[in-house]
Chain A
């Protein structure tokens, strides 16, 4: 019994308790970086996906290479390439006024995460656009819709619904991937954890606490997406008296990227 007491006494939660505001600001930075990259990435991904399904090879091939590169290399390398790599061209970047941005870890983090998630999202959208049933497209053409109208009214809304499960997975992954920005000195949730450990040496307790926060937000995001999906798929659900229901399990949403 004595040894067990000694074991429990060796735990210390004061570093966590005393640093709650820091953890809070770290969590907020993590959420901020995620939200900004997700929004910018989505804006970038739509034209990329359209270019990717284009019949014009001059559009399709460069976008294919971009997607292949950002999906085929580690995000950490992309982050290093932008943050440390830009230093190699400092003079040139200074002369065009870009250095003030690229020396900021915050800017580099957003840039790398945005480019990365845009590639993954574009690929998800490509799959969804190509999965739109041909009959619907033919019907729209038969109604005399022009190409832009066809995309706006038929293909993109349908593709958005088809892409949603995979996209929610992507948002969860991006949220988790933001922990890498702590390596380029940003004080996100992981960064705060590192600093507090370096002062308190409570490695185990702090990482468990940080992990629990990530876990909670991850399943919160998955839960929100499952609600959105439930709403958007309303027309495909059996009527209430025919039974069945409840949103899809949020657990099922997280597969490997």
Chain B
């Protein structure tokens, strides 16, 4: 192969490879990717729990629960993630400090570490989107099945546990997959609250080597890789969840 490509081609190839010379700072990506994946997974668990609670709130008979759940999704979906992150990380700590200080009459200092703040904020934000996904999924369960369960004498809790929850995942999977893809990308915002995730570590590499393009481009390819792997896994999970379902 090399013999045939003489002239400009090897030079161009060299330049392309020179772009990916990390000058000994390649390890920053490994450090960052671990935190990004971990914070995404933890936030996804929080988001799913918030989503189930939120969907219950939207579908419950209680007017108060409806109101709270609707307020939750309306506010979270109407405000940019960045503002919510800054509000929770800086604002809520100060608010709690004020409340406690005025209650106890002495100065109280509250410090949330960026990881916990990141998991909670992302979990609460994407919980609002998961709420809509679960709401749709619960409504997609055929009503006849629920009536059948009731006529067998199952209580509401039993119906939820035995009939609804096992099926809700099948209807929720495509939507939850989307929420997950957006959530991974949103972890990049955590770099503004000093969480040492992939973008922050790439930033450290870029500053030390003065090669910002190299480091941010590589970081973007790593995010793309995580996205593609997630899409493939989602496809597998959907195929698994729909096994035994007849399709036209």
Interface string of B192-226 (1 = CB under 8 A from A): 10000001000100100011111011011101100
Q: Using a CB–CB distance below 8 Å, which chain B residues touch chain A?
A: 74-75, 77-84, 86-87, 90-92, 94-95, 98-99, 102-103, 105, 126, 129, 132, 175, 178-179, 182, 185-189, 191-192, 199, 203, 206, 210-214, 216-217, 219-221, 223-224, 227-228
> Shortest CB–CB separation between residue B220 and chain A, in angstroms?
4
Summarize A's interface: helix, strand, loop or mixed: helix
Rounded to whole Å, the gap between the CB of A224 and the closest CB of chain B is 15
Name the CB-closest residue of A to B182.
A256
What 6 A-B pairs have minimum CB-CB distances, sorted nearest first? A85-B213, A74-B188, A215-B78, A72-B227, A176-B80, A207-B87
Q: Which residues of B contact A3 (CB under 8 A)?
A: 102-103, 105
Asked if A75 is an interface residue, CB under 8 A from chain B, the answer is yes
Taking a contact as CB atoms under 8 Å apart, the answer to whether B216 and A84 are in contact is: yes
- Assuming the A-B contacts A85-B212, A257-B182, are A76 and B217 also in contact, with contact meaning beta carbons closer than 8 angstroms in the complex? no
A4, A190, A203, A214: the one within 8 Å of B102 (CB): A4
Q: Is the CB of B212 within 8 A of A251?
A: no
Count of chain A residues with Cβ under 8 Å from any Cβ of B?
A: 48
Produce 1/0 per residue, A59-77, CB < 8 A to B. 0000000001100111111
Given known A-B contacts A76-B189, A251-B74, A89 and B79 have beta carbons under 8 A apart: no
A177 within 8 A of B: yes
Nearest CB of B to A118, in Å: 17
Residues in A whose Cβ lies below 8 Å from that of B206: 84
Quick one: closest B residue to A176, CB to CB? Answer: B80
Given contacts A74-B185, A256-B129, contact A208 B216 (CB under 8 A): no
CB pairs A–B below 8 angstroms (9 shown): A68-B228, A72-B224, A73-B185, A73-B227, A76-B189, A76-B199, A179-B81, A180-B82, A211-B87
Shortest distance from the beta carbon of A15 to any chain B beta carbon, whole Å: 14
Return A188 CB to nearest CB of chain B, in Å: 10
